[in-house]
Amino acid sequence: MARDREALGRFYELFFERIHGYVRRMVGDETLAEDVVQDVFLHLQRAIPTYDPARELAPWVFTIATNKVRDLWRSKRFQSLARGAAFDDEGDSAPEPADGRGGPLQDLESSELRATLAAAVDGLPPGLRAAFVLRWHEGLEFEEIGRILERNEGAARKRYSRALAELRRALEAAPRAGRREP
């Protein structure tokens, strides 16, 4: 029993940061992300006896996380929050702290670029966002991403490519700091 708890603790330490980051990027809200991550780890704890050790562990874990995110998106709680956010959205997210390696203008521009990029990622359709986050942030292979998203490898590659194209368009359309309008 103590060994099981120790193993579960190591498992949690190994995957918590990655799963939390993935879920946070997918749902766009820290409180909701914490709830989903808790559900993910409860599910993993219960499902570990069904895990096939011949399979890669990370795709299995991310598949469960992806399914929990989908469950949240289908929930009435999320639907009502999303409707409320559409009315309340003022786009006032807290800027990230400056790294101290530039002047105030450079720090402001860097912060604005990060916020613009985060908003562009958040604006991606869920399937494209999942492919982007799993590839870019998690470094998973397209075959693994395909399994997680219940698609083939080619479809995972296509979603990632489309996500990059959408992000490029969003960033090109966004006003850039320091650029003067005529």
Condensed to tens digits (0 to 9), the pLDDT of residues 2-39 reads 667 787 788 888 899 999 999 998 888 899 899 999 99
CATH T-level fold of 1-80 = Rna Polymerase Sigma Factor; Chain: A (1.10.1740)
* DSSP helix/strand/coil, 55: coil
DSSP state, residue 177 = T
User: What is the average pLDDT across 91-102?
Assistant: 45
Joined tokens for residue 17: 């940061």
What is the pLDDT at residue 48? 84
64: nearest Cα among 179, 6, 164, 149: 149
Average pLDDT over the chain, rounded to an integer = 80
What is the pLDDT at residue 102? 53
What is the pLDDT at residue 93? 44
DSSP state, residue 53 = T
Q: Say if residues 133 and 66 touch (Cβ distance below 8 Å).
A: no
Q: What is the CATH number of domain 102-176?
A: 1.10.10.10
CATH 1.10.10.10 domain locations along the chain: 102-176
| Prediction pTM value | 0.61
CATH 1.10.1740.10 domain locations along the chain: 1-80
Joined tokens for residue 175: 């006003």
What is the pLDDT at residue 81? 63
pLDDT of residue 80 exceeding 60: yes
77: buried, middle or exposed (CB in 10 Å: 19+, 13-18, 0-12)?
A: exposed
